[in-house]
């Protein structure tokens, strides 16, 4: 029997499939009755939260009976100083994921169009379709954004263009000149949402800082998060930066109290824990090298190593290898939901976790 609610659902919702997150540790251990599993599936920070963030959370616990400050003024002020922008240019979200949704809620809808790239972060398509907009999918080039193909889809109905830089899950990134030229070519009514969730973890020479373009492009919204480099995925805190008038419009559709008290104080503290961030970057650089070397030794083809993850091909056997890794307590990310059935993605963990992944993967492949 079908779902009777489908006929009453808003346009676009009936055809949606829920976002599939990486498998949680607790779920795997419950299902298989195993202990000491490791999760390298969701691009989380293996160092855990910043010590300063933990202290800030502890100090804030007695105030949990009170609502948080809805606009997170202290965090916004701190971010503005850190990013060298004005507080009125910042909107806070329950993760940067919510800021993506706010953009769709404010600008997309029936009769409008939203452009995304093949293999891009699945949430872009979800929020676009849920709004009732027509989703336009540009074919990828070498698993990354084909800016010419995306530009060819722009018309008078285009309201949003989502770009992930670097792209999750493939790891490709766009260089400074190409991306700047693309944004400059777009009409004013096409808002570019530039997702820089892995900004702090990038070290490519040609990788741009989207914030530097804000004085030039009023149709640009840059999103970032505290979930990756800052180790606060469990508290959900992200933000968007753009023209003050753009941010003011997004504030009209933001839910009150969307960023909880603990997330606000933890993000504020983590932002200025430079020792923690440097330790994160060092572990990440070494981990990317460790994993990439290991995958190449196993004869596997990798996509570009970016942020804190690597996607790799397992021709004809990705689903089987994923299942076998789970049986050994190693969680990675299958990319079948992205239309990449022969690829898996692995996040950087601690050195011993990376090695355990490589050792178990070698054993699995040897048995195949």
DSSP 222: E
Cα of first residue to Cα of last residue in the chain, in angstroms, is 40
Q: How far apart are CA 142 and CA 122, in angstroms?
A: 18
Give which of 327, 335, 336 is closest to 360, Cα–Cα: 327
Strand partners, 71: none
Span 87-144, pLDDT tens digits: 999 999 999 999 999 999 999 999 999 999 999 999 999 999 999 999 999 999 999 9
What per-residue confidence (pLDDT) applies to 1? 58
Give me the sign of the Cα torsion angle 276, 278, 281, 286.
negative
Reported confidence tier of residue 315, pLDDT bands at 50, 70, 90:
confident
In this structure, the chain runs to a length of: 368
Average pLDDT along the chain: 94
Give the pLDDT mean for 67-95. Answer: 97
What SS3 class is residue 236? coil
Q: How far apart are CA 261 and CA 53, in angstroms?
A: 12
Domains of the chain: 21-48+275-367 (3.90.1150.10), 51-271 (3.40.640.10)
Span 41-64, pLDDT tens digits: 999 999 999 999 999 999 999 999
Q: How far apart are CA 269 and CA 257, in angstroms?
A: 19
Q: For 148, phi and psi rounded to 5 degrees?
A: -65, -40
Half-sphere exposure of 279 (CA within 13 A, CB side): 15
Span 152-204, pLDDT tens digits: 999 999 999 999 999 999 999 999 999 999 999 999 999 999 999 999 999 88
- Higher-pLDDT residue of 352 and 2 is 352
State yes or no: pLDDT of 10 exceeds 90: no
- β pairing state of 90-93 and 238-241: antiparallel
């Amino acid at each position: 029997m079908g779902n009777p609610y489908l006929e009453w659902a808003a346009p676009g919702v009936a055809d949606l499939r829920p976002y599939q997150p990486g498998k949680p540790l607790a779920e795997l251990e419950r299902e298989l009755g195993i202990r000491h599993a490791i999760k390298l599936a969701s691009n989380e920070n293996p160092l855990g939260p910043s010590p300063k963030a933990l202290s800030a959370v502890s100090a804030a616990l007695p105030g949990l009976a009170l609502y948080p400050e809805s606009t997170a003024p202290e965090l916004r002020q701190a971010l503005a100083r850190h990013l060298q922008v004005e507080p009125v240019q910042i909107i806070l979200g329950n993760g940067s994921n919510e800021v993506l949704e706010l953009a769709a809620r404010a600008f997309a809808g029936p009769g409008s169009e939203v452009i995304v790239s093949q293999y891009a972060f699945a949430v872009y398509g979800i929020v676009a379709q849920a709004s009732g907009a027509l989703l336009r999918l540009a074919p990828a080039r070498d698993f990354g954004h084909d800016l010419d193909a995306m530009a060819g889809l722009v018309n008078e109905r285009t309201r949003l263009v989502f770009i992930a830089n670097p792209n999750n899950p493939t790891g490709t990134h766009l260089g400074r000149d190409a991306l700047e030229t693309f944004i400059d070519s777009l009409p004013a009514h096409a808002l570019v949402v530039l997702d820089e969730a892995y900004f702090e973890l990038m070290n490519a020479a040609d990788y741009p800082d989207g914030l530097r373009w804000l004085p030039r492009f009023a149709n640009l919204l840059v999103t970032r998060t505290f979930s990756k480099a800052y180790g606060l995925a469990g508290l959900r805190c992200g933000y968007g930066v753009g023209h003050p008038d753009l941010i003011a419009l997004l504030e009209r559709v933001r839910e009150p109290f969307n960023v909880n008290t603990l997330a606000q104080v933890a993000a504020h503290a983590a932002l200025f824990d430079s020792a923690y961030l440097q330790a994160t970057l060092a572990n990440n650089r070494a981990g990317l090298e460790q994993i990439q070397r290991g995958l190449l030794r196993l004869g596997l083809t990798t996509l570009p190593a970016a942020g804190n993850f690597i996607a790799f091909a397992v021709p004809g056997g990705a689903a089987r290898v994923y299942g076998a890794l789970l049986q050994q307590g190693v969680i990675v990310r299958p990319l079948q939901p992205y239309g990449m059935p022969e690829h898996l993605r692995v996040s950087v963990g601690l050195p011993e976790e990376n090695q355990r992944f490589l050792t178990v993967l070698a054993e699995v492949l040897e048995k195949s």
